[in-house]
Chain A
Amino acid sequence: MSAPTHLAHGAPQGFIRKYVFSLDHKVIGIQYYFLGLFSVFIGMALSLLMRFHMVNPEAKVSWFASLWPTSAAGGMMTPELYLSLMTMHGTIMVFFVLTTVPQSGFGNYFLPIQIGAEDMAFPVLNMMSFWTTFLALVVMVSAFFVQGGAPLAGWTGYPPLSGVGRITGPGEGAGQTLWIVSIAIFCGASLMGAINFIATTVDLRCRGMRLMRMPLTCWTWLVTAILALLGFAVLLAAGLLLILDRTVGTSFFIPGGLLISDQIISNHKGGSPLLWQHLFWFFGHPEVYIAILPGMGVTSHLLATFSRKPVFGYKAMVYAILSIGFLGFLVWGHHMFMSGMNPYSAMAFSVLTMCIGVPSAIKTFNWIGTLWGGKIHFDTAMMFSLGFVSLFVTGGISGIFLGQPALDLYFHDTYFVVGHFHMIMGVAAIFGMFAGTFYWFPKMFGKMMNETLGKIHFYGTFIGVYCIFTPMHFVGLAGNPRRYSDFTNVEYLANLMPVHKFMTHAAYFTAAIQILFLINLFWSLWKGPKAPMNPWNSTSLEWTIPSPPPFDNFAGVHPVVNHGPYEFSVPGAPTDFIMQTDPPSVHSGD
């Protein structure tokens, strides 16, 4: 058999082509993974600084003063600095961690392999997509180092705060401009990635890989790519308009008659801040699913593998993924209940929001149905998947409260919201990434990770995140507003300080536990025991090839798929799993 001719590129030669400007989807996936790993530690450090300041607002820390000579003069953090830490924490976490690792990292590495392709459809575009993301990260981080520092308008960048420049705050000059430019660049990168994911899934599946035989991971990567395609195009449009408002003096989002810091803003008139909110949340709500869907895919895949049972209701899962993706575009208004919108619009958005509960519940019940009666193997990867289900339920239920305008009236802009979205979008998605890491590390690097360290890391993280984010719901119920840097001067908030101290210490603890993960990751890379081809007795295609896989994945062989993705414990089969590529005779069904 001759080598396949449709590879758009040959085997890479030399260090730069192999590891830096690589066209190989596996290298690009690893690049995305480490970009996300770098970003998550920046984001986590920022959150620790915020938590520290919240419980020690008067503290003078000498190295604050050396890091931020103006905004922390004398070592005491200003409220503006707190807001810039908050903005950069949210932005870096949402864009460069939650959007990047589950989709672009794991998706890039495993989508082509799981569908039996040699690479992504457009390898050059893939490489450009990564390096554009990298550029966006560089531009974003550089906002820390320009005059005035990082922006303080939050990850949602609401105008007019984000639109009129330096007068609204120290970071609102060059810092905010870099922020919005970085977001626009990131949109471009995401669009390139989405095109690749969709074309690859639709057209490069190997023989026998029908859509309904794809692992659920591939389904979630596909639907996430569609969401990213439609969402980031709209954010790009909004971002370009905001850049113009900031730089050339247009008035898309900036109303007239603004009085800021005793100055009348005279060069803008007639713009609508709500227009930005609509455009932003048309992207922003699907973004939640961009972050969480791949985690759902990994969880479904792992729950089946580690309980040695087929996914309960595979087709229902596929339709649930599709309807979550579809409904995700119809609910952006629930982020704007308090913007003065027509109560009838709010009701429509509320009803549609409740509708998302249906496919979400289908997924949750199917996960439990998958576990039910299974021979469950409690490996670390499985523990994180179970943790994902727990966090998804906890965070999802508070979403039902927030989705009702009457309740949101009270909860809006309190810590209840912060607790909610960190549970479901932040930590659940992170658990999906940890699950993926422990599950796929052997395939990616040919080494096994340490299970003992992994378990300690899991239990520490699981207990830690619940200790951080559960109390947030209660201080939110008590009326604690978000985005405030100092509660000590308000009597009813000062009473909540012991709870805040508890959350801060839980955050220190959880952050410290993450060092175990880093040690495990890098120690296993260096000294981990050699990984076999299929350490988990999994069924999907990546486990039919060596660990790590050869450059063209299947070494010139074209896989043929004869089985569905989750044929575990099939009666009469010689083993408790049937690989997707096993000959059809192994199993009479399908």
Chain B
Amino acid sequence: MGMAGSLTHDVIQGPPPPPVDGGWGGDNGGNSDGRGAFRRASFTGLWVLLAASTMLFAAFTSAMVVRRGLSDDWVSTPKPPILLVNTGILLASSIALEIARRALKSGGRAKFNGWWTAGTFLGVLFLGGQVLAWNQLNAEKVFIFTNPSSSFFYVLTVAHAFHLLGGVSALFYVDVQALRLSLGPAKRTAIDISAIFWHFLDGLWLYLMVLFYVWG
């Protein structure tokens, strides 16, 4: 018998049994009620979603590497300096969300609300910054069809931005719940899921920046 409740235990032995008194429906609350199963499934769903997103960007990356190596028409795309500012904003938003999460763990609701709102706002700001970056490239007559390098720049940044739209919506949803003071224990899952998804998009963005500056 492995360690009860650990991941390996779950996978090999089946999920931990519900309380003997008859299962998920009891009023004993805590981790053994129905939300436990839903919370576990939500996390699994999140990891699976991240795997799909990773495959999407891996496919784009391999296409980029192959396309770059195949032809002699690759011209490096100018990187608007605002990208660096955007990177800072995105990192700051992740940090803000993390401070908020820790505050909530120690019961600091007001602190949570403030930092989470700040993180959400910074997320929206990043998207605005990306729009500025695209505008600046357009002003320099660098469009999606100009060059394979610019094609991949637009494809990757727009695909990232679409992911971010989903992320910001999740952050915003949690924020509205928090500000309406209806952030019950069930919503903790939403907080954790949206924050982890956001950190993933953060890491993805750093990866894309490296890709653009090294190969773009």
Contact = CB atoms under 8 A, between A and B. Distances in A.
A482 interface: no
A230 B73 contact: no
A210 B151 contact: no
A558 B18 contact: yes
B38 to A, nearest CB: 5
A199 B52 CA distance: 14
A237 to B, nearest CB: 4
A211 B38 CA distance: 19
B56 A204 contact: no
Contact of B13 (A122, A210, A230, A278): A210
Given A207-B14, A210-B14, A230-B55, A3 B25 contact: yes
Nearest to B143: A248
A412 interface: no
Contact residues of B: prevailing secondary structure: helix
Contacts of B25: 1-5, 556
Interface string B143-165: 01100100100010001000000
A8 B42 CA distance: 12
B99 to A, nearest CB: 29
Contact of B67 (A2, A199, A275, A558): A275
Interface in B44-79: 44-45, 48-49, 51-53, 55-60, 62-63, 66-67, 70-73
Contact of B59 (A195, A205, A279): A279
Contacts of B52: 191, 194-195, 229-230, 232-233
B88 interface: no
A122 B66 CA distance: 38
A275 B63 CA distance: 7
A210 B12 contact: yes
A5 B34 contact: yes
B189 to A, nearest CB: 11
Interface in A175-203: 191, 194-196, 198-200, 202-203
A425 interface: no
Given A198-B48, A229-B52, A252 B151 contact: yes
Given A195-B48, A252-B151, A121 B66 contact: no
B85 interface: no
Contacts of A213: 14
A211 B35 contact: no
A244 interface: yes
Contacts of B66: 272, 275, 278
Interface residues of B, number: 50
A208 interface: yes
Looking at A205, A232, A237, which has the most chain B CB atoms within 10 Å of its CB?
A237
A209 interface: yes
A251 B151 contact: yes
B44 A6 contact: no
Contacts of A195: 45, 48-49, 52
Contacts of B59: 233-234, 237-238, 279, 282
Contacts of A211: 11-12, 14
A529 interface: no
Contacts of A376: none
B22 A240 contact: no
Contacts of B148: 250-252, 270-271
Interface in A1-53: 1-8
Given A202-B41, A248-B145, A272-B66, A230 B27 contact: no
B48 A199 contact: yes
Contact of B55 (A6, A233, A278): A233
A60 interface: no
A249 interface: yes
A422 interface: no
A140 interface: no
Nearest to A120: B41
B51 A230 contact: yes
A321 to B, nearest CB: 16
B51 A252 contact: no
B22 A1 contact: yes
Contacts of A5: 24-25, 33-35
B56 A4 contact: no
B145 A207 contact: no
Contacts of B41: 121-122, 199-200, 202-204
B73 to A, nearest CB: 4
A455 interface: no
Contacts of A250: 144-145, 148, 151
A241 interface: yes
A373 to B, nearest CB: 32
B116 to A, nearest CB: 24
Interface in A214-255: 229-230, 232-234, 236-238, 240-241, 244, 248-252
B37 interface: yes
Interface in A389-413: none
Given A203-B15, A211-B11, A251-B148, A6 B38 contact: yes
Interface string A550-563: 00000010100000
Contact of A2 (B10, B18, B27, B151): B27
Nearest to A207: B17
A198 B27 CA distance: 29
B23 interface: yes
Given A244-B144, A249-B145, A202 B11 contact: yes
Given A4-B34, A251-B151, A202 B67 contact: no
Contacts of B23: 1, 4, 207, 558
B24 A558 contact: yes
A483 interface: no
Nearest to B27: A2
Contact of B26 (A2, A230, A275, A556): A2
Contacts of A279: 59, 62-63
B40 interface: yes
Contacts of A4: 23-25, 34
B26 A252 contact: no
A403 B30 CA distance: 56
Contacts of A241: 60, 63, 155
Contact of A558 (B22, B48, B49): B22
A442 B119 CA distance: 53
A272 B38 CA distance: 45
A499 B63 CA distance: 44
Contacts of B62: 279
A229 B18 CA distance: 30
A8 B38 contact: yes
Closest CB pairs A-B (n = 5) = A6-B34, A237-B59, A233-B55, A270-B71, A121-B41
12 contacts: A4-B24, A4-B25, A5-B34, A6-B35, A122-B41, A198-B44, A230-B52, A240-B159, A241-B60, A250-B145, A252-B63, A269-B73
Given A207-B18, A252-B63, 18 more contacts: A4-B24, A6-B24, A198-B45, A199-B41, A199-B44, A199-B48, A204-B37, A207-B23, A209-B14, A229-B48, A234-B58, A236-B56, A237-B55, A248-B145, A271-B148, A272-B70, A279-B62, A558-B22
Interface of A: 1-8, 121-122, 191, 194-196, 198-200, 202-205, 207-211, 213, 229-230, 232-234, 236-238, 240-241, 244, 248-252, 269-272, 275, 278-279, 282, 556, 558
